[in-house]
Amino acid sequence: EISPPGWIEKSQSDAHLGNGKHLTIGADYAAQQGIEYKGNNYEEDRTLTGFDISGHWNAITGQFEYNTWKEEYTDPSKSDKEPNGWYVQAGYFVQGPNIEPVVRYEIFDQDSNSDDKEEKTTTLGVNWYGKGHSFKVGMNWAHTEYDKNASGYLSDDDKKDVYQVQAQLYF
């Protein structure tokens, strides 16, 4: 990860919550080679590459991430896959009631070598911070639309809504 001059965090913190500024740019890579399965002699290789950028300026937060995978199989009954995906999200921290409305949009292509395998999700939510990230509660509504050949596509519908309530307590 790198940060431009003037946007480096002065100290490590898990919660900025409306104060200061930071900008971080990162890259990632992971590989698993020769994954063997019980019951046959076939192998699988996986690689993951990506980058991300995140930051905040006073009450505004934002983040973007992109990842691409490559899955290669020696099993002739399986086709190689190349999934990829990205998301962008933003939030705004309101001091006083300590709430943060948030929005996120993401696209995940289950295999860029195949047609109609995308899922697109829009998430709207709000977080309440009782004591920073040590005690918080979040509520989200996630609306996902699936292409016809995407796993997750329902037999009677091409979209799904999920409602979530989450709580976090560190002690």
The model's pTM is: 0.85
* pLDDT 10s digits, 55-92: 999 999 999 999 999 999 999 999 999 999 999 999 99
Among residues 34, 33, 42, the alpha carbon closest in space to that of 78 is found at 42
Question: Is residue 61 a contact partner of residue 36, using CB atoms and an 8 Å limit?
Answer: no
Q: Are strands 84-92 and 21-36 parallel, antiparallel or unpaired?
A: unpaired
Q: What is the pLDDT of residue 54?
A: 94
Question: How far are the Cα atoms of 1, 89, 106 from residue 138, in angstroms, in the given order?
Answer: 28, 15, 19
